[in-house]
A and B are shown apart, each in its own frame.
Chain A
Amino acid sequence: MIQPANDVLLEKVYSVKGGNFLKAGEVSSKIKKVLKEIGIPDEKIRRLSIASFEAEMNVVCYAKIGIMLLSINHHKIKLTVEDVGNGIEDIALAMQEGYSTATEEIREMGFGAGMGLPNIKKNVDDFHIESTAGKGTRLEISITLKNLM
């Protein structure tokens, strides 16, 4: 069933700056707070928070700039993460656990183990990714709410 546009209960846009490792995670923290405030079930908040944090880290690690759009309706929480940056050469390869193009700096922080995208997929109900190498990546993930709200 196609939902009309006015079905949206809440929409928020956040910007993420590539390379700003110190602030990495701030947007996900804000998103988590919003989800708590509107009373989304804890287990769903937790799954979306993990996915959101991984996606935010990806923007910080591999892009110049990105936006994160949180959109909630009665049926789902949707998070769209779009960036201008390195992009992904081979998505199938990037989806494999352990595959990574992370720099030494990223690895020293404890990331870049090639677990990010697979972990995002594991935690959400719907996962779409498209990317152009050298241009950027668009990730669309959602968590279904219809059984609970």
Chain B
Amino acid sequence: MTLQEIKDVLRCEDLCGEAALHSEVKTVFAADLLSDVLAYAKQGTLLLTGITNQQVVRTAEMLELLAIIFVRGKRPDAETINLAKSKNIPMLTTKYILFETCGRLYNCGLRGCIESVKDDTAR
């Protein structure tokens, strides 16, 4: 599934990185705890989160995540968007709540980058 298809399913608005919309999304991780994102998210994963500070961009940079989608209509400030632009990290925002966002993507066939914490192997 491409980022563009996800954008359509979730009725997202682009914040930056429109050029990467053709990228293929294989796995997803969702959390509002960056500590957990750093511990469990895998390279190339799409991140769903409600955290909009600059550290979310840094986290995505360090983990080499594919893109960030902010849920619940949240949007980062201009400085954070500029940081993401400079790091080539696509960011989008959806009005759906996290549960609905996950459910809709799961319905489309997407899966978590790990299934559970006891099974910490990359998909």
Contact for B58 among A28, A114, A115, A119, CB less than 8 A: A28
**Which B66-120 residues sit within 8 Å CB-CB of chain A?**
87
**Which A49-78 residues sit within 8 Å CB-CB of chain B?**
49-50, 52-54, 57
B87 to chain A, nearest CB (A): 8
User: In the bound complex, what is the Cα–Cα distance between A25 and B32 (angstroms)?
Assistant: 18
Do A53 and B38 touch (CB < 8 A)? Answer: yes
Do B35 and A116 touch (CB < 8 A)? Answer: yes
Do A50 and B54 touch (CB < 8 A)? Answer: no
- 20 other A-B residue contacts (CB within 8 Å) besides A29-B62, A111-B35: A22-B54, A25-B54, A25-B58, A25-B61, A32-B62, A46-B63, A49-B62, A53-B59, A54-B38, A109-B55, A110-B35, A110-B37, A110-B55, A110-B56, A113-B36, A114-B35, A115-B36, A115-B38, A118-B39, A119-B38
**B5 interface contact, C-beta 8 A:** no
Main secondary structure of the interface of B (DSSP, over half): helix
**B4 interface contact, C-beta 8 A:** no
Do B32 and A28 touch (CB < 8 A)? Answer: no
**A112 interface contact, C-beta 8 A:** yes
User: In the bound complex, what is the Cα–Cα distance between A135 and B43 (angstroms)?
Assistant: 36
Max count, chain A CB within 10 A of own CB: residue among B32, B34, B62 = B62
**Which A89-126 residues sit within 8 Å CB-CB of chain B?**
109-116, 118-119, 122
Do A113 and B35 touch (CB < 8 A)? Answer: yes
List chain A residues, Cβ under 8 A from B13.
Answer: none
**A84 interface contact, C-beta 8 A:** no
A108 to chain B, nearest CB (A): 9
List residues of chain A with CB under 8 Å of any chain B CB.
Answer: 21-22, 24-25, 28-29, 32, 46, 49-50, 52-54, 57, 109-116, 118-119, 122
List chain A residues, Cβ under 8 A from B62.
Answer: 25, 28-29, 32, 46, 49-50, 52-53
Do A29 and B35 touch (CB < 8 A)? Answer: no
A59 to chain B, nearest CB (A): 14
